Structure formats: structure tokens, C-alpha cells
Copies of this chain bind each other. A is one copy, B any other.
Amino acid sequence: MNVFVVGVGLIGGSFALDLKELNSNVIIHGIDINESHLQEAMELGVIDQKSSYENLSLADVVVISIPVNAANEVVPRVLDAVHEDAVVIDTGSTKAPLCELLVNHPKRRNFLAAHPIAGTEFSGPSAAHVGLYAGKTNIICEVEKTAFKLQERALKIFSDIGMRIRYMDPKSHDRHIAYVSHLSHISSFMLGKTVIEKERNERDIFDMAGSGFESTVRLAKSSPAMWTPIFQQNKENVLETLDEYISNLLLFKSYLEKDDFQAIFSAMESTNKIKEILNGIVVKPI
């Protein structure tokens, strides 16, 4: 099986490594706009050979894992290049703009819109590792628009690498993911920014920071090149989540200003139920 990975970073690279582990007949062809990433992916054994768009007619499966703005350029181009029996899987964090863009593409049936919920704050080929996807959720949008036998091929792969599947329409995906992923990134980046600005002249103050701070600002290590286009494409939903988040912070501030500590206690207590919710999402290998 010829698998082309376009964008050999955490997502594409880990996909490649899992496929190679599962099936010795898989050949991984890497394509990346960043030549040094491609070289690194070769050296790390993430891909078997460097390739280019010209060779895409060989592909049985194409996994596209690049920033979402680039995906809007690349996915149509890849669809144009593949043969009739190839499945082209996009893995970006927004789904509505790309699905809309492809609605009338002559090879729409070769396309599968996916979002594996497996990103971390790390990126690039060196971040790729076997087992990233075990127990994680893969959200698939508009599955009915993908040719049935190509759905089957893709789902078999997702199942083999240990993923749970959820089906969702692209607009719902983008609305919900704004809350459970995009807003977390903004909250984390702005927390990091606030603390860095304040403490810029007192670097050693970070000695005072514990694991709680580390956890809360973890996502502020994420790649701006990946995240800027996500916020751009999901602007309206992200603005809504930001408004609600800021409202809650202002409410907390007003409680504090009024010395209404009962209200502060209650707000925290009712939010503690996040424990049970998180217990439900804690990732376990299946």
C-alpha cells in the first residue's frame, strides 16, 4: 500500500509510524514544503522516501496534516492528482471551510474529512511517535459524501491504530471544537503572555511556578503557524467562546470586588464537576 503523507509533523508522522508498525507492506511517501522537515523525517524513519505532488497518482491513501489555510490550497490539488481509487484524508482542526470548498469538487467522493483529537503542543517530525492515536477520538464529517469502499479503507486504518470514531456535521464540529480546543489555546496563550509581560524583569520568579502553572500554560508552546489560520477559519465561533469566557472572568472579578466569596465558592464548586467529565475523556489505550 502506497501512503502519501503531506506534512510530516506530529499528526502525519505519527500516522506514518503507526501504519509502518502495523503493516510491513506499507510504503510511506513524504511530501513537505519544508525540505529540512522532510530530511529529518527520512532520518528518523518516519517516511520511507521523499516524494512530490507529481507522484500522487501512485497513492492508495493520502493523509494531509498541514496548517488549515494551506489545506484549502493543497487538498483540491491533491484530489486532482490522485487516481479514482485513492482516499484523501484531511486532518485539520477546522472542517466547515474545507468541506464547503470541496462541495462540488469532481473527486469529492475520494475525500474524507477527519479531525483526530490527538494534537499536542509539540510539532515537527521529531514529535511523531508510535501509538499517538491509541484510544483517541477521530471526528469524521460528511462521511456519506465519501465513496463507501474508501470509507471502509480509511475506517479500517483508524480502527487498526486504535481510534474511536465520532460522526458529526462540519458546522457542529467547528462550533464545539471552538469550546473544547480553540478557546483553551487562547486562554493558555494569553495567560502565558500576561505572566511574561509582568515578570519580564524578574525571570527567576518562575522558580515560584509549580506544576499547576505549567499545566495551564502548556498549550502556549503551540505553533503560531498552525494556530493562526485555525482562529482565522473559525473566527465567528471563536469570538463567541471568547465573549463567554471574558464574561465569566468579569463576573468572577465583580464577585471579588464586592467581597462576595460565597459566589466565588459556588462558581468553583459547580465547576468541580469537570472532574467527572474529564474522567470520561481521559485517554486510555483500547
A residues sitting closer than 8 Å to B (CB atoms) are 117-121, 136-137, 139, 164, 166, 173, 176-177, 179-181, 183-199, 202-203, 205-222, 224-225, 227-229, 231-232, 235, 238-239, 241-246, 248-250, 252-253, 256-257, 259, 261, 264-275, 277-278, 280-283
Could you list 17 further interchain pairs (A-B, Cβ under 8 angstroms) beyond the known A179-B198, A180-B213? A118-B210, A120-B211, A176-B199, A180-B199, A180-B209, A180-B210, A181-B208, A186-B249, A193-B271, A196-B271, A197-B248, A206-B280, A209-B278, A215-B215, A216-B216, A228-B261, A246-B246
CA distance A238 to B261 in the complex (A): 14
Q: Please indicate the chain B residues that have their CB under 8 angstroms from the CB of A136 in the complex.
A: 210
Query: A252's contact among B166, B190, B274, by CB below 8 Å, is which?
Result: B190
Query: How far, in Å, is A256 (CB) from chain B's closest CB?
Result: 6
Residue of B whose beta carbon sits closest to that of A219 = B212
B248 touches A252 (CB 8 A): no
Chain B, Cβ-Cβ closest to A199: B179
Contact in complex: A180, B194 (CB < 8 Å):
no
Nearest Cβ on chain B to A252's Cβ, whole angstroms: 6
Known A221-B278, A235-B256, A267-B189: A213·B228 in contact at CB below 8 Å: no
Q: Are A184 and B206 in contact (CB under 8 A)?
A: no
For this chain, the copies found in one complex come to 2
Q: List 11 A-B contacts (CB under 8 A).
A: A117-B209, A179-B198, A180-B199, A180-B206, A189-B252, A192-B274, A196-B273, A214-B282, A216-B218, A216-B219, A246-B249
Report the Cα distance A208→B116, complex, angstroms: 9
In the bound complex, CA of A92 to CA of B257 (Å): 23
The chain B residue with its CB closest to the CB of A242 is: B253
Residues of B within 8 A of A265 (CB): 224-225, 228
CB of A39, distance to nearest CB on chain B (Å): 23
Q: Which residue of B is nearest A188, CB measured? A: B216
Q: A220-B272, A224-B269 are in contact. Are A194 and B183 (CB under 8 A)?
A: yes
Residues from chain B with Cβ under 8 Å of A179 in the complex: 194-195, 198-199, 205
Q: In the assembled complex, how far is the CB of residue A202 from the closest CB belonging to chain B, in whole angstroms? A: 7
Interchain CB contact under 8 A, A283 and B221: no
Identify which of B184, B211, B252, B272 contacts A224 (C-beta below 8 A).
Answer: B272
A266: B residues at CB distance < 8 A? 224
Q: What is the bound-complex CA distance between A244 and B261, given in angstroms?
A: 21
